[in-house]
Structure 1
């Protein structure tokens, strides 16, 4: 019934039915000249839409909208749904002193939001990427996320682009029934910590039809996830599609029910990966994960489980990871590797991986080098069908 209500609300607004309210940001004072701060026009349009008594649509026409932080929050009482028809090019402020909260565009505590159109969230990150020192400094100040979704329900994003984010492109946290389709992320391969989409502490998430090029994970899946489906993703440049990193902080929630399928990963630092830190402060688990129908093109570390994750190279990993990995399937995985090791299964000494299956794996060298090999520890994997490179002894 809820989905039907949202659909009817969208159709209603699309055809201009009288009960639907439209709020054009140009009517709220936006200049769209790329130099005037248009934040107030966006906030005023949101306040009006959130306060309306029926389905509401916010119209953002083509144009260049420069602004600092935006915060769109609910709940919107009496509003069954809000659609943001976004066709404009939003340009982020580059003065970091203007970002006290750590996010640029923030959506929170809203039920029934749809963002659709050809619009662009342009973080203008190139001017400040050199300030990111998080690989060397654990107490670093995180740069702003381009678009953050917090505690949302029944959310759809469709067709939009995130460009040159200062930090993560999209952050999705504590959301239920979140769907992102046909979107695009464009960052250069050397832009630091610019994950395409980071998801954590969420239930029922669909990511489909994305084209992601970035300087970190194309998609990163953090703690506390249930029922996440990812498909038809084109990834590269970047660090691949990752579950984790996990096990760094106390009381992390379990991850279960992930399907990553029908995707292509090209010219990336990693392919499909599960990663956890050593010295985990508390126990957690990753289970019921399937990677299926994945194609690699010149990818380093195509298939990798890494339970000694240490990106800075100076971690105290004397205590094995307390993240239990079980019931993981890699099925119908093919393509080319730029590294010598096609399959890496490095599991925890304290909690060896359980029930990891590899079926029909065919990964060959990208430049005709020597045959690839597999590396394994603390695991007894199950193999069926084609196995190239050959399994660990």
Structure 2
């Protein structure tokens, strides 16, 4: 009897122990799933990624204190590290004077800047002894994202900008400048009210930008969205630009540039140039601007070169494709007599040689009677300009017209207006 009782008691204990093990196993599984889900959501940093938070280096994020020193210390510490590094700019309002984030960072495999705050530029122009506010110089493998904003506070400086009136002017600072960078990705970053350009990409290789939002009033002077110069393998896509000058401006020395899915307007359109202003300029080759919307701008797709060019250069293999125009003053324009000033000196023809220019699938409405203007250089007439499936109407319902000089374009598909039936003055 006692033996039977003990046997039953032991069986009961074993059963309870087995149930406890099952419960513990279940709890451990649940805990593991929760931790795995958190890791999958991207909350903690990878174990091999070093984190540098600007707050840990003294940034106040109060919108009043100059946080330049804290940002620079965080950058220098990250740049001196090894492997993958991340600089965190949490939400808050930061104030920065002109600052240069300088490379190379020799032992860093990738450098990610997560910008979630709002960064204000100084309104005191006396603090700027350079042509940029925030500069990334000589950095390889830079990644910047986070949805944060650069606010150039340009309204305080726009009335001091003489560059729209004077050829030899002192330029105001660009908000964000990338110089001699390699393998750069900029994603989901905003810029408002720059003193000059929103962004400039100079001497870069393999530069990617997507999902940017750049905004300034339509009357703000020289507030180009993104200016690209002396760079190769650049792609800008899925970006909204509402500003006071060119939404995109592609300057000299560029090769293999793709601009796609841009929402442009107000502004001055999507421009190649200006080219031919300086004696150090290099050729431009392999540019594609496509799949974009241009609304309410002074120009649509444009190539502009200066008269009186100091040196002879080439701009070739340029394609504008699948562009929708809405109430645009000059939807298609080649202007090789470009000079925005009252007195430009002698009118020597532009020495920029344009060739292999394609306008494909350009459609929509012109705010002016002349929808197509092709004014090429008298000294170097445009070669191999092709118009394919172009349909532009004057917004008041009447037919649009086209004017040309020093060019004989070819046509395929339906082309409206009939291009080059109205000659322009041939002294460009």
Please state which band the TM-score falls in when normalised by the shorter chain: over 0.9
My pick for the range that moved more, 317-326 or 197-206, is: 317-326
Please, which of 246, 256, 262 is the counterpart of residue 233 of structure 1? Answer: 262
TM-score in terms of structure 2 length: 0.88
Match of 1:333 among 330, 352, 362: 362
In angstroms, what is the RMSD of aligned CA positions? 1.2
Confirm whether residue 209 of structure 1 aligns to residue 201 of structure 2.
no
> Residues 196-345 of structure 1: matches in 2 within 5 Å?
196-345=225-374
Q: Which residue is equivalent to 1:371?
A: 399
In structure 2, C-alpha distance between the alignment counterparts of 1:273 and 1:358, rounded to whole Å: 14
Deviation by residue 1:251-287 (Cα, 9 ceiling, x = unmatched):
3100010010000000001000000011111100110
Kindly report which structure 2 residues correspond to 1:147-226, keeping only aligned pairs within 5 A, or say none: 147-226=176-255
1:137 is displaced (CA, Å) by: 2.5
Task: Identify the residue that residue 415 of structure 2 maps to in structure 1.
Answer: 387
SS at match of 1:40: helix
> Shift of residue 136 of structure 1?
2.5
- The more displaced of 179-188 and 131-140 is 131-140
Partner of 2:383: 354
Contact 1:251-1:283 within 8 A present in 2 as well: no
Instruction: Give the CA deviation at 1:317.
Output: 4.7
Aligned to 1:140: 169
Q: 1:218 to 1:57 in 2, by over 3 A?
A: same
Q: Is 1:38 matched up with 2:67? A: yes
- Measured in 1, the distance between the counterparts of 2:43 and 2:267 equals 37
Question: d(CA) in 2 for partners of 1:313 and 1:226?
Answer: 33
Cα distance in 1, alignment partners of residues 324 and 120 from structure 2: 35
Shift of residue 14, structure 1, vs aligned partner: 7.1
Q: In the aligned structure 1, how far is the partner of 2:346 from the partner of 2:44?
A: 60
Which is richer in helix? 2
Superposition deviation, residue 138 in structure 1: 2.5
CA distance in 2, matches of 1:88, 1:48: 20
- 1:17 and 1:174 map into 2 onto residues whose CA distance is 32
CA distance in 2, matches of 1:87, 1:120: 8
Deviation at 1:319, TM superposition (A): 1.3
Q: Separation in 2 of the partners of 1:296 and 1:91?
A: 34
Compared with structure 1, are the counterparts of its residues 24 and 336 closer, same or farther at alpha carbon in structure 2 (3 Å cutoff)?
Answer: same
2:299 alignment partner, SS class = coil
CA distance in 2, matches of 1:29, 1:322: 53
Q: How far apart, in 1, do the equivalents of 2:375 and 2:106 lie?
A: 50
Counterpart Cα distance in 1 of 2:218 and 2:48: 47
Check whether the contact 1:278–1:316 (CA below 8 A) recurs between aligned residues.
Answer: no
Report the structure number with the largest CA radius of gyration: 2
2:111 aligns to what? 82
- Residue equivalent to 2:5: none
How far apart in 1 are the matches of 2:383 and 2:420? 16
Corresponding residue pairs, total:
381
Distance in 2 (alpha carbons) for counterparts of 1:265 and 1:234: 6
In the alignment, the residues of structure 1 paired with residue 197 and residue 346 of structure 2 have an alpha-carbon distance, to the nearest angstrom, of 27
Contact 1:94 1:124 in 2 (8 A): yes
SS at match of 1:210: strand
Q: CA deviation at 1:385?
A: 0.9
For 2:394 and 2:185, the matched residues in 1 are separated by: 39
Aligned residues of 1:115 and 1:157 also touching (Cα < 8 A): yes
- Which string of whole-angstrom CA distances, capped at 9 and with x for unpartnered residues, describes residues 85-110 of structure 1? 00000000000010111210000000
Q: CA deviation at 1:365?
A: 1.4
The unaligned stretches of length 5 or more in structure 1 are 1-10
Aligned to 1:67: 96
Q: Distance in 1 between the 2:244 and 2:204 partners?
A: 25
